[in-house]
Structure 1
Amino acid sequence: MAEAIIVNIVVDKLANIIAKEIQFLGGVGEKVKKAQRELTRIQSCLKDADSKRKLDERVQNWLNELRNVAYRIEDAIDMFFIKVECNKNNTCLQKLKNKPREVYFLHKLGTKLDSIQNELEEISKSRLNYGITALQDIAVGDPVILPVRRTTYSEVDETEVVGLDADRDKILKLLHPEETPRRAVITIVGTGGIGKTTLAHIIYKRDKSNTIFLFVCISSAKAKFEYHIMLSVSQQFNLTELLKKMLRQLIDDVPNELDVEGLMSELKKKLSSRRYLIILDDVWQVDVWNHLKNALPDDKNGSRVLITSRSIDVAKSADPIMAPCELNLLDDQKSIDLLLKKALPNQEPSEELASDLLKLANELSKKCEGLPLALVVLGGILSTKDRNYHAWERVFRTMDWHSKGKECMDVLAMSYEDMPYYLKACFLYLALFPEDYQISARRLIRMWVAEGFIPQEERITMEEIAEDYLYELFQRSMIQVSSRHVNGSIKCFQVHDLLRDLAMHKAREENFVMVFSEESDSKKPNKEIRRASFHSLKYGDDNFHLRNNLLYLEYARSLLLFGEYGWSPIPANFRKFRLLKVLVLEGVENHDVDLVRGLEKLVHLKYLGLRGCHIPISKCSFHCMKALETLDMREILIYGDGEVPDGIWSIDTLRHVRCDSDNPFKLPKTTAELKNIQTLQRVYFNKKMPLLSSLCKLDLVIEEDGDPIAFTSNLFATLPSLVSLSIHSWYDSLTMEVVYPKALPNYQHLQSLYLDGEWSENVTLDASLFPPHLLKLTLEWSRFGQNPMPELGKLKSLKKLCLECEVLSIDLYYNSGPIFCPAGFPVLQYLKLGGNSMKSLTVAEGTMPNLKYLNVYDHDIMFHLPPELQHIDELYENLIVVFLLTG
């Protein structure tokens, strides 16, 4: 029910105008109040209307009319404030001169509201003709029912694996070089949602954990694959981008100037004489393998390529000799097992279920006809219901089980209909992203906030509420988590292509989102479309009439352009899109200064994403963007003759500023308070720092000038909300113990600490230096005169430890012998060691009992690990690690 969130946004906007601008609006203010009252009355009827839209097409038309009127009210208000915004910062004389213009625009707004009000009253009256009653569920003033706040995050994988054991064992056997010395292509074939990608991830993770020389009880086994590559291909197959993605998993920097032939040559050279495993997920076209096979050398060393596809033709053409692994639907027992694992996540399988509930669960599982995705999504729906017969029976009754062959899509559709209204808009918004795109949770959350989907509460930030919304989508199995932060919260995720198809279908149906891509038709967009996204746009490619389509999007609130790096056919400026709240340009190159001069006209813009762009951003006057909340400039190449302008600091609404190491920001030299700033990623440390009382994440570069001890003391006395801190000290005279904030042990909420800089060799490392509840610690370019492990092992909450580059002094490295790690690290899960840090590491029994991941990229370190650590899930990189059983 996207209409509910749309009306909510408009009602909230009107409420804010009444609270802040009512005097400025004069007589028009009463018309604004009247529109708000009428929309508020209609709000209470939306849930009932939504439940009847399937039964009566007239109700759908009523909802469409309501949505369009709400849009027109929002447009009228927003356009009015754009017209008068330029007058607010003028001198008194200029304001006096512009007064007649202001009066004219007020009159024009009043006239529009009069016209809209008549329509609104007609819509309100006509609901009775369709039997739509007021339920008082979502009226303004009623509290919004939010998901239950979590103190901890679930560590459970996004998909419970059932029924794949035999297929997994079969494929693992085929990976052995003794089976087939030639480069063989293994294919996994099956319908959408049957578990192909899940199985591929299991194989990838299981094999990568064995990319070592393994010695247990002095007996050896031959090394497995030296190189691993895994990536999704999807329907929008682009050979150049595919080759670049493959190379980026092998080398740090891939030259942008390489063409297809150059990329294939580079890939072949890198893989030559190496034993590799390459997993290509979701291949739709036979041509994919026909293009790639010439870049993958066959040195008769047992290299393997694993392909997942829905097409048996892809499997047969890739390797006619190797029989494809065809996944089967789950039988009745495995179906009920998977359904109950998702429906009852905290209940042990041995716990008895009431007989009537178990019988109903069996009936529900059979309706999914053995398709894992349908079972997982249906289980996600049941997990949100009370655990009783009546609640589950209502789900059974709600489904349309009569359309044979459409069970999976019906289950997915029901999962959407079952969502609370506030979650539906958040789910439909996912349709804006390309297929198989790795979506950053933080990025999406900030876009939701910018769009107005998230309510404002007194004791909790909007970002925290949005994080709960995202977790609820995960709980309902509507997203698939790819990676997590150290505290267990979602870092990145993907949307299964069937669920993405559902989101796109519903978004088009509700006129919520329009997506343009190579596969989409050239139909002109409706002017009522508020969110649009352009995918896979290439340099010089105007096949889908980008410019013409953009002309019809002047009322858009979100516009996302996903292009290849170097792609440039975008409008000369964005003056036409002055109602935008969210603008994302990814991989865009445009040297036209008019582009950024158009950006500064976007006075309603709240989220600006310029990741990977090459544009003259130094010419942009950020101070004109009075509503901006998020500015993301990571991986940006600044074209022009200056740095990023500091006008951004005059924006009162600013909450998140992100850039990278090449272009750090300079904070203003003032003690004024930047009260809303929550994220500062890569900023230079100034002599005078502004007050940052709301700051949660800080990435700080310390310069050589001034007195860093005094600076850090002043700064860290005023950061009560800090959760993540990174400090970079790149000067020999500023060793880490000099710049290290002495107040950090008092930071109870600090979870992540990254220190980039040398420590003096005579420093005695002490656990008391660090915050008490630290979850993640990274020490880079550090150098100690002592073994750091005994003190670091005392950090009782530490889950992730990264020690990189010269962790030990040269004298200690050559003279101390093995480094001993005594008892400690009670909850450590991830250990990363890099650089010339040590020659050997011996871990005492009982140490690191929860270690799961060991990442080392030195080839000559010998590890002595106790028996209880033989279970480690992942051992990264191409290295020689020795496991010796101690005791």
Structure 2
Amino acid sequence: MAESVLSTVLGNVGNLAVQEASFLGGVTLEVAFLKDELMRLQGYLKDAESKRRSGNATVTILMSQIGDAAYEAENVIEAVDYMKKRNDIKKGFMGAISRYAHIPSDLTTLHKVGVEIQRVRRKLSEIFQSIERLKINLDSGVVDESLEDYDLRHLRNDDVVMVGFENEYKEIVDKLVQGEKMLSVVSIVAMGGAGKTTLARKVYISSQVEQHFEALVWVTVSQKFKVIDLLKEILKQILSDVDQSTKIDEMKEYEVGKKIHDILIKKIYLVVLDDVWETDTWEQINRTIKAFPDTSNCSRILLTTRKEDVAKHVEMQTHVHALRSLDEEKSWLLFSSKALPSYRISSIHNLDKYEELGRKLTRKCAGLPLALAVLGGYLSKNLNTQAWSDVLLCWPSTKDTQMMRAIIARSYENLQNHHLRSCVLYLAAFPEDYIISVSALINLWIAEGFIPHTPKHTLEKTARMYVSELAQRSFVQVVQTSIIHERAEEIRIHDIIRDWCIEEASQDGFLDVIHETTSGQVGASSSHNKIFYRSSFQNLSGQILQASPNLRTLFGFELSSLSLPDVRFLRVLHVENTRLKNFSTVIGGCIHLRHLSLRGCGRVKVPSSIRKLLYLQTIHVDSNVPSSLWDIPTLRHVDLCCISLPRSVQILQTLQELRMWPTDDEVGKDPMPILEMLPCLVVLELHCFIPEAMSSGAQGFPRLQELRLEGCYFNKWTMEVGTMPKLSHLSLDMFDMLDEIEIPDGLLHLPSISFVSLHARAIACSSHSTAEGLKQKGCEVTIVTVPL
């Protein structure tokens, strides 16, 4: 991964403005020399990587040293850039002095930085000497890193994998909605990669199932699950009152189980338990109280597992459906739908030859849908008969999982660029069966520097193209697609691919995934002494107390508690459902931080020192955040519970997404006059603002495309002609408001509006003409009213 590391570092430091800071003196020249040496080093990496993969241990060590040196160089260059940023935003007389004079604190820091630059340059000099001894050649070839902009309409993974399972699908649906009235279980059993989860999800969202059952629940069990967490997730899905879901986390296991029982006893329900591994899972779920009552009303449990004894162990009427491998013809249908998609058929010559080779390859896949999908995705990027013949000739002699690993590795190596390869390995950071938000993943990739700057696209657009590429190759499965935008909103990674990513990421020193409690350091693998710059801790008890001093990324999922160590070079901190300690004392020192996401971590106190994080791009925190956040010039995506509006938006020139709840003293003010001045804002979501009136000026919101207002009440909304020229989607959710809601007639003047959704108790009579006018413009209008 040294090539990826070096390219990422060069991309990051290339955007820094160190050379513009005259007060830095001779350090600026030293930084320039350091950049030049990193660029020179990049030219050798192609040859070095090929030697490493051939098993040259000395080159492997050298590649690790290159990665270390690149990260150290980025740290020191960014420290200089940080001094410039800090001085640029200082105000008043002392700010003017510090910008143009060498104050003692700056002189001390510059001296330390200069010493550090010399140390890194000496390390690079030793690396160049090693390159000469190892006879590693300079390779200045240019790699094409362009990607096709795939249309997600061709990437419906569930439809693709359903090829060949039409009969099974109908049989399972029939067993769920027909038959005996007593509570019973339908189990889908098959090996990994056979399509169990995809088939179950297709059944789950079918119209027959949705119409038959009054309550639908889907939970993933996995190998390491906690009963209390599983029950809480089930309860959150069946609660009709969304506000009560916040109270669930405080409930005990018996209370949660009884609440589930009391709700489901009145309903015809279907509960899906996906990916069950242990025979006693059902007993564990019902150990304190029988959560799933049998009222003889045709309720069902749908279970997926790799083990037949698990399927048969549940002590009730059980229908076991052993999912068969695909036959030769169905295998060909699935493979060809990926390798030779219909929208590309017309441009393919020698189609008969491709079919001849393809049918031979499908027989090698032994009817496994995952193998067929990944191989097909890989070969769709290599549409020449020689490449297909080479795959056939080099086919591994192993079967099942080992065969799958060989296919995954080939597709991974074939990815267009190292940026994409980094994005694939990064998926290992998420827990097993985790549903990944695409927008959150994109923010993480950008924060890590994996997404290159291109003249044609924004970083977000390029990242979405990467997601489409990985879906096309079946590295990820699309779970949820936006009906409006026709793009992936949620994805998941198959267990087999995830296991491969974890192993590959560990071998390369890219990422360490820790599942069990360890006494070692953060950033140091529990199984060996390799130092990692990224660590993901998942489902652990105990505290993390120590860290590698150079740790750049820290993930935490479902930890009992987390005491943040000294991580001053941290770029990413992403923690979910974990009690945090000492956060407020540590975070101000993480000046390199790009991504801060604390979901389900309680009321974490965010200090005013947050203003020091001058590189912060993404922040998602569930607690109060001080207004000093608005002093950060690099914000791109902000999702906050409570915060005051910025006094000025002059510094917020990069902000693209904003989701926020107001503080009590801002709640009655119109937020639009301030927010409409944000020049790059694309998505705006506001909750619980209650102004008397709202107004949008003629020049307001120049790039806004999506606007969602939830629980925001106002008597009048005035829109001047010329406002929101790019707004396409507007959603108003005002169910809690008792008065009639009026649709602003100003919407008729918006040139790009294409979708309007309104949820309310009632709408004013005058709004019907506005709605009709929008429809005549070709806008889709959805109005849902639920009277008291």
Q: Of 754, 758, 782, which residue of structure 2 is paired with 1:774? A: 754
Aligned to 2:56: 57
1:147: Cα distance to partner? 1.2
Aligned to 2:388: 392
Give the alignment of 1:447-846 within 5 angstroms.
447-485=444-482, 486-518=484-516, 524-525=524-525, 528-537=531-540, 541-542=541-542, 546-548=543-545, 551-563=546-558, 567=560, 569-571=561-563, 576-590=566-580, 594-633=582-621, 636-638=622-624, 644-660=625-641, 663=642, 665-670=643-648, 672=650, 674-682=652-660, 685-686=670-671, 689=674, 691-700=677-686, 708=693, 712-714=695-697, 717-727=699-709, 730-731=712-713, 734-735=714-715, 738-743=716-721, 747-754=725-732, 756=734, 768=748, 771-785=751-765, 788=768, 791=772, 794=775, 798=779, 802-805=782-785, 835-836=786-787
1:256: Cα distance to partner? 2.4
**Secondary structure of the structure 2 residue equivalent to 1:615:** coil
Asked if the contact 2:536–2:556 (Cα under 8 Å) also holds between the matched residues in 1, the reply is yes
Deviations 1:709-739 (A, max 9, x none): 5xx233x5232211101245755xx32xx21
Deviations 1:663-684 (A, max 9, x none): 2x32223363521111121265
| More off after superposition, 336-345 vs 88-97 | 88-97
Q: Of 119, 135, 141, which residue of structure 2 is paired with 1:136? A: 141
Deviations 1:795-836 (A, max 9, x none): 56556x54334xxxxxxxxxxxxxxxxxxxxxxxxxxxxx13
1:514: Cα distance to partner? 1.0
Asked if the contact 1:605–1:625 (Cα under 8 Å) also holds between the matched residues in 2, the reply is yes
1:472: Cα distance to partner? 0.9
Residue 273 of structure 2 corresponds to residue 280 of structure 1: yes
1:442: Cα distance to partner? 0.8
**Secondary structure of the structure 1 residue equivalent to 2:654:** coil
Give the alignment of 1:3-82 within 5 angstroms.
3-17=2-16, 20=19, 23=22, 26-58=25-57, 59-78=59-78
Q: Of 238, 241, 261, which residue of structure 1 is paired with 2:229? A: 241
- In the alignment, the residues of structure 1 paired with residue 648 and residue 65 of structure 2 have an alpha-carbon distance, to the nearest angstrom, of 51
Aligned to 1:104: 111
Taking a change above 3 Å as real, the CA distance of residues 713 and 702 of structure 1, as seen in their structure-2 partners, is farther
- In the alignment, the residues of structure 2 paired with residue 199 and residue 210 of structure 1 have an alpha-carbon distance, to the nearest angstrom, of 13
Deviations 1:182-229 (A, max 9, x none): 2111111110000111111122122x54544xxxxxxxxxxx322221
| More off after superposition, 717-726 vs 424-433 | 717-726
- In the alignment, the residues of structure 2 paired with residue 578 and residue 783 of structure 1 have an alpha-carbon distance, to the nearest angstrom, of 54
**Secondary structure of the structure 1 residue equivalent to 2:460:** helix
1:345: Cα distance to partner? 2.0
Residue 252 of structure 2 corresponds to residue 267 of structure 1: no
1:26: Cα distance to partner? 4.1
- In the alignment, the residues of structure 1 paired with residue 82 and residue 649 of structure 2 have an alpha-carbon distance, to the nearest angstrom, of 31
Asked if the contact 2:66–2:127 (Cα under 8 Å) also holds between the matched residues in 1, the reply is yes
Give the alignment of 1:162-177 within 5 angstroms.
162-177=163-178
Aligned to 1:814: none
- In the alignment, the residues of structure 2 paired with residue 336 and residue 66 of structure 1 have an alpha-carbon distance, to the nearest angstrom, of 45
1:637: Cα distance to partner? 4.0
1:20: Cα distance to partner? 3.1
Asked if the contact 2:444–2:572 (Cα under 8 Å) also holds between the matched residues in 1, the reply is yes
Asked if the contact 2:189–2:304 (Cα under 8 Å) also holds between the matched residues in 1, the reply is yes
- In the alignment, the residues of structure 1 paired with residue 86 and residue 680 of structure 2 have an alpha-carbon distance, to the nearest angstrom, of 30
Deviations 1:378-427 (A, max 9, x none): 111122223x3124334445x45233442122111212111122100011
Asked if the contact 1:87–1:95 (Cα under 8 Å) also holds between the matched residues in 2, the reply is no
Asked if the contact 1:181–1:302 (Cα under 8 Å) also holds between the matched residues in 2, the reply is yes
Taking a change above 3 Å as real, the CA distance of residues 325 and 150 of structure 1, as seen in their structure-2 partners, is closer
- In the alignment, the residues of structure 1 paired with residue 741 and residue 255 of structure 2 have an alpha-carbon distance, to the nearest angstrom, of 46
- In the alignment, the residues of structure 1 paired with residue 230 and residue 691 of structure 2 have an alpha-carbon distance, to the nearest angstrom, of 46
- In the alignment, the residues of structure 1 paired with residue 85 and residue 630 of structure 2 have an alpha-carbon distance, to the nearest angstrom, of 19
**Secondary structure of the structure 1 residue equivalent to 2:703:** coil
Amino acid at match of 2:221: V
Taking a change above 3 Å as real, the CA distance of residues 796 and 190 of structure 1, as seen in their structure-2 partners, is farther
Asked if the contact 1:596–1:620 (Cα under 8 Å) also holds between the matched residues in 2, the reply is no
Q: Of 354, 359, 362, which residue of structure 1 is paired with 2:356? A: 359
Deviations 1:226-278 (A, max 9, x none): 22211211111110010011111110324323211111111111111432211
Asked if the contact 1:483–1:491 (Cα under 8 Å) also holds between the matched residues in 2, the reply is yes
Asked if the contact 2:720–2:746 (Cα under 8 Å) also holds between the matched residues in 1, the reply is no
Asked if the contact 1:589–1:614 (Cα under 8 Å) also holds between the matched residues in 2, the reply is yes
Amino acid at match of 2:170: D
Asked if the contact 2:742–2:767 (Cα under 8 Å) also holds between the matched residues in 1, the reply is no
Amino acid at match of 1:651: I
Asked if the contact 1:745–1:772 (Cα under 8 Å) also holds between the matched residues in 2, the reply is no
Give the alignment of 1:115-514 within 5 angstroms.
115-128=122-135, 132=137, 134-138=139-143, 145-149=145-149, 154=154, 156-160=156-160, 161-177=162-178, 179-206=179-206, 208-212=207-211, 224-251=212-239, 252=242, 253-254=244-245, 255-293=248-286, 294-319=290-315, 322-347=318-343, 354-386=351-383, 388-397=384-393, 399-405=394-400, 406-420=402-416, 421-485=418-482, 486-514=484-512
Deviations 1:540-581 (A, max 9, x none): x31xxx424xx23331211111226xx4x322x55x111111
Taking a change above 3 Å as real, the CA distance of residues 430 and 250 of structure 1, as seen in their structure-2 partners, is same
Asked if the contact 2:204–2:210 (Cα under 8 Å) also holds between the matched residues in 1, the reply is no
- In the alignment, the residues of structure 2 paired with residue 454 and residue 113 of structure 1 have an alpha-carbon distance, to the nearest angstrom, of 26
Taking a change above 3 Å as real, the CA distance of residues 278 and 795 of structure 1, as seen in their structure-2 partners, is farther
**Secondary structure of the structure 2 residue equivalent to 1:693:** coil
- In the alignment, the residues of structure 2 paired with residue 341 and residue 87 of structure 1 have an alpha-carbon distance, to the nearest angstrom, of 57
Deviations 1:774-814 (A, max 9, x none): 13523435522268497177256556x54334xxxxxxxxx
What are the ranges of 5 or more consecutive residues in structure 2 without an aligned counterpart? 663-669
- In the alignment, the residues of structure 2 paired with residue 317 and residue 241 of structure 1 have an alpha-carbon distance, to the nearest angstrom, of 22
1:429: Cα distance to partner? 0.9
Amino acid at match of 2:683: K
- In the alignment, the residues of structure 2 paired with residue 677 and residue 195 of structure 1 have an alpha-carbon distance, to the nearest angstrom, of 41
**Secondary structure of the structure 2 residue equivalent to 1:658:** strand
- In the alignment, the residues of structure 1 paired with residue 85 and residue 750 of structure 2 have an alpha-carbon distance, to the nearest angstrom, of 48
Asked if the contact 1:563–1:586 (Cα under 8 Å) also holds between the matched residues in 2, the reply is yes
Percent identity for Structure 1 against Structure 2: 27
- In the alignment, the residues of structure 2 paired with residue 320 and residue 229 of structure 1 have an alpha-carbon distance, to the nearest angstrom, of 19
Asked if the contact 1:69–1:119 (Cα under 8 Å) also holds between the matched residues in 2, the reply is no
1:149: Cα distance to partner? 3.4
Amino acid at match of 2:424: F
- In the alignment, the residues of structure 1 paired with residue 461 and residue 743 of structure 2 have an alpha-carbon distance, to the nearest angstrom, of 39
Amino acid at match of 1:70: A
- In the alignment, the residues of structure 1 paired with residue 709 and residue 11 of structure 2 have an alpha-carbon distance, to the nearest angstrom, of 40
- In the alignment, the residues of structure 2 paired with residue 21 and residue 767 of structure 1 have an alpha-carbon distance, to the nearest angstrom, of 45
Taking a change above 3 Å as real, the CA distance of residues 536 and 741 of structure 1, as seen in their structure-2 partners, is farther
- In the alignment, the residues of structure 2 paired with residue 266 and residue 702 of structure 1 have an alpha-carbon distance, to the nearest angstrom, of 29
Taking a change above 3 Å as real, the CA distance of residues 674 and 761 of structure 1, as seen in their structure-2 partners, is closer
**Secondary structure of the structure 2 residue equivalent to 1:149:** coil
- In the alignment, the residues of structure 2 paired with residue 68 and residue 534 of structure 1 have an alpha-carbon distance, to the nearest angstrom, of 22
TM-score by length of 1: 0.78
1:52: Cα distance to partner? 4.3
Taking a change above 3 Å as real, the CA distance of residues 322 and 145 of structure 1, as seen in their structure-2 partners, is same
Q: Flag the structure with higher helix content.
A: 2
Amino acid at match of 2:406: D
Amino acid at match of 2:190: G
Asked if the contact 2:617–2:634 (Cα under 8 Å) also holds between the matched residues in 1, the reply is yes
- In the alignment, the residues of structure 1 paired with residue 152 and residue 294 of structure 2 have an alpha-carbon distance, to the nearest angstrom, of 48
- In the alignment, the residues of structure 2 paired with residue 243 and residue 171 of structure 1 have an alpha-carbon distance, to the nearest angstrom, of 25
Taking a change above 3 Å as real, the CA distance of residues 683 and 596 of structure 1, as seen in their structure-2 partners, is same
